[in-house]
Amino acid sequence: MDRNLTRRALQLMDAHREFVRATVVRTVGSVPGKVGATLLLTADGSCFGTVGGASLEEEVKQRARAALDRKAGDLLHFDLQAWKPGGLPSLCGGSVDIALEYVPARPHLLLWGGGHVAEAVGRILPTLEYDFSVADDRPDWVGEERFAAADRREVVAPEKLWERFVPTAYTHLYVLGYDAAKDTDVIAHSLDRFPNAIGFIASAAKRAHMLHELRRRGYPEGALARVRSPIGLAIGAESPAEIAVSVAAELVRGMHPTEPAAPRGDAPAATPTPPEADGRTA
């Protein structure tokens, strides 16, 4: 095991970047990379480490890129024998098996609104090793006593959210606020600036009001389709804790998909947050 590559893999995980780890797991005869030799390939094409170089390595990189596209690993066999049908242009003479492990980007959530649902979500995310920060314009709702595990806890107005946070640092924005107008403002300021998943927890009436207001402001249907509402899996959740379980379950399914993902804006629906869940009417 290479310590530097292990550190690099941890850095990529902490930076919420997906990558493929290619590792030599079996060799027969003469080969350039011994068992344990490892290469990391990221989505932007950056490569760290080696599985032996030459034509073998170029072929592994190509297969690793395909694994990134598929978001799935693989087990590869190569004969390093130029004279053998299907063999690589190599004179080493041996063969090698290489495991490709797809490592997805770990979720990094920004929660707008520090109410009871957000607090419950903030308790469950660390158990999954998912990172999160929380923002609200109410100082009493973003304190350390409510969100001890949060990376950041910020008191900020909706229109200043992306002045305080870097949009590309987060994989999800979940709007869990207490005020319909402020939630709408957060989404409006995010549609053009936040590039990743936007989720909105709301009753059907609140969701319809938000969409109507954003259409009135001139946002096209294509932009509005980016907003998933409600969020979470449909498990009949009612209490904040149950809703948090449904939200976490949807995140886990996204990390380990077993079927094609639902289109944005048409996700399986969890039970909307009841107005009393945050102790006040949204």
pLDDT at 271 over 70: no
Looking at residue 18, what is its pLDDT?
A: 92
Co-location of 38 and 174 in the same domain: no
Give per-residue pLDDT as tens, 94-149.
Answer: 888 999 999 988 899 999 999 999 999 999 999 999 999 999 999 999 999 999 99
Co-location of 99 and 127 in the same domain: no
Could you list the residue range(s) of the whole structural domain that residue 162 is in? 108-278
Q: Are 248 and 177 in contact (CB under 8 A)?
A: no
Give per-residue pLDDT as tens, 191-209.
Answer: 999 999 999 988 888 889 8
Looking at residue 203, what is its pLDDT?
A: 83
Co-location of 164 and 188 in the same domain: yes
pTM: 0.75
> What is the distance between the terminal CA atoms of the chain, rounded to a whole angstrom?
53
User: How many angstroms separate the CA atoms of 274 and 276, rounded?
Assistant: 5
Co-location of 56 and 122 in the same domain: no
Is 254 in a helix, a strand, or coil?
A: helix
Co-location of 271 and 170 in the same domain: yes
Q: Are 200 and 191 in contact (CB under 8 A)?
A: no
**Sign for the pseudo-dihedral over CA of 221, 225, 226, 227:** positive
Looking at residue 259, what is its pLDDT?
A: 54
Burial class (CB in 10 A: 0-12, 13-18, 19+), 213: middle
pLDDT at 38 over 50: yes
